[in-house]
Structure 1
Amino acid sequence: MLPILQADLLKVKRKWFWLLVFLGPFGVIGLQVVNYGVRYEWITSRTDDQWATLIQSVNMFVAPALLLGMAILASQIASIEHKETAWKQLLALPVKRRDVYISKFIITSGMIFISALLLCIGTVVLGIGLGFGWNFSVSDILKNSFYPFFAALPVLALQLWMSIVQKNQAGPLAIGIFGAVFSTYAHLAPNWLIWKWPLLYPGKDPLPYVGLGVLVGAVILLAGVMDFRRRDVA
């Protein structure tokens, strides 16, 4: 597994993927910079808990940005092998198909995790820069940054599965973009829809969805591995 991970990291290093890792969280924070820059007095006059308002404002864009980032990264990482027609060469090596597949998932999820960490840091920096002080809830900021990540793991596993088995990435990307847009309205959708799970909104206990995200994500990942092991990938 380790040599495969190192090879995948080297492939990713030569691409622009890391730009996307930084662009996602900075884009979300940048939107709030504009939001507060235009409506600072109105927003701050509505409540005494400025940090809670900031976290809630950031959260509005976390789910769609997260799901879109997952779709793009999964597609691009799979495209490295598709474009270079390297699947057969890679799988001809003395490596396990399972390890090849899981390596792609680890790299992709690791990048998204870094984005969540950057979002966490960016939220703190923005709040302090806006003059809200240091009296913020660390747990609330961590939940806002990382709960959606764990709850969205089924979507990541599904996007990676589709991206690997399909050479034409139009389909997986279209589904990913639709899912990201759909998530902005998904609070009214049935609870079983995995695109709803990353949403955090008042009155919803996120922990069950975080647990389900990890569990269902593992199941979809296992299904993808089993399918990849018997599939002839061109």
Structure 2
Amino acid sequence: MMWRALSADWLKIRGKGIWFLVFLGPIGLVAMQGLNFGLRYDYLRQQYSADLWGGLLDNVSGFVPTALFLGGTLVCSLIANVEHQMSSWKQLLALPISRTSVFMAKLMLCLLLVAVSCLLLSVGIVVLGLILGFKADLIPYVDVVRIGFMSYIAALPVIALQLWLSLANRNQTLPVALGITLSLTSFFSMFLSEWVPLTWPYLAWDSSNRLLFSGAGLLLGMLVFLPGAVHFARKDVD
């Protein structure tokens, strides 16, 4: 049932600008670092002469949590808004499919879209490095994949919360405002306690316990998902 709902949701997002957003985030981050290295090329090559690829990844990593929180917020809001704007919740939930399956389908769609964005970021970093003249045989493939996906897993609690709020509220002001606030706050995550989930995407990249913070994000994300699914299953819809 969930897969049928997911297939229907996949068709609904066509022409809604969501794919533009999925591409915009990683392309924007890569372009920003392209400009950064382009303007300070000689200085940065000298600074990171021991590990050029590592220097590029470190420069990107500080913006990844913000991009994940903001991108996840907007993707969740746009997906929920497809049903809110069309006032199609009653028709959708009248179908022979459980509300939990509907919620899970939309969660899976959000996670898939954000995962595509993370994959594009990894590919974009490799392309940018090659354009900058970094050696292809020194590409740190594990780190290139890790910079997006480890942080992505650690950001799951925020994505799950944003989907819950977006589906529960016809007016998207609250979830979008919260998402923007969390995104801006993540710039200062290195000054917060490691117990604060906002720090986990950054610590999943830049800490000695990377797997711990990614695992914590996965676990808390599942814990946030459960009450969200229960609330959606019991909530009256317009």
TM-score range (shorter-chain normalised) is: over 0.9
Task: Compute the displacement of 1:203 (Å).
Answer: 4.1
Q: Which ranges of structure 2 fall in alignment gaps of 5 or more residues? A: none
Alpha-carbon separation, structure 2, partners of 1:203 and 1:12: 37
Q: Does 1:143 align with 2:138?
A: no
Residue 8 of structure 1 aligns with which residue? 9
Task: Compute the displacement of 1:46 (Å).
Answer: 1.1
| Correspondent of 1:165 among 157, 163, 168 | 168
Residue 55 of structure 1 aligns with which residue? 57
- Compared CA separation, residues 151 and 202, structure 1 to 2 (3 A): closer
Q: Which ranges of structure 1 fall in alignment gaps of 5 or more residues? A: none
Task: Compute the displacement of 1:195 (Å).
Answer: 1.6
> More deviation in 26-35 or 1-10?
1-10
TM-score when scaled to structure 1? 0.97
What SS is found at the alignment partner of 2:166? helix
Residue 185 of structure 1 aligns with which residue? 188
Structure 2 counterparts to residues 103-122 of structure 1, below 5 A: 103-122=105-124
What SS is found at the alignment partner of 1:159? helix
Task: Compute the displacement of 1:202 (Å).
Answer: 4.2
Task: Compute the displacement of 1:63 (Å).
Answer: 0.9
Alpha-carbon separation, structure 1, partners of 2:209 and 2:39: 32
What SS is found at the alignment partner of 1:111? helix
Paired amino acid for 1:116 = C
Paired amino acid for 1:199 = Y
Q: CA RMSD of the aligned region, Å?
A: 1.1
Alpha-carbon separation, structure 1, partners of 2:118 and 2:133: 23
Q: Give the % identical residues.
A: 40
Q: Does 1:214 align with 2:215?
A: no
- Kindly provide the CA deviation profile for residues 109-128 of structure 1, in whole angstroms up to 9, marking residues without a partner as x: 00000001001101111111
Residue 38 of structure 2 aligns with which residue? 37
Alpha-carbon separation, structure 2, partners of 1:178 and 1:18: 23
Residue 178 of structure 2 aligns with which residue? 175
Residue 231 of structure 1 aligns with which residue? 235
What SS is found at the alignment partner of 1:184? helix
Structure 2 counterparts to residues 118-129 of structure 1, below 5 A: 118-129=120-131
- Kindly provide the CA deviation profile for residues 14-53 of structure 1, in whole angstroms up to 9, marking residues without a partner as x: 3110011110000000000100111111111113211110
Alpha-carbon separation, structure 2, partners of 1:170 and 1:193: 24
- Compared CA separation, residues 173 and 226, structure 1 to 2 (3 A): same
Aligned length: 234
Alpha-carbon separation, structure 1, partners of 2:207 and 2:97: 48
What SS is found at the alignment partner of 2:40? helix
> More deviation in 152-161 or 57-66?
57-66
Residue 84 of structure 2 aligns with which residue? 82
Alpha-carbon separation, structure 1, partners of 2:22 and 2:121: 10
TM-score when scaled to structure 2? 0.95
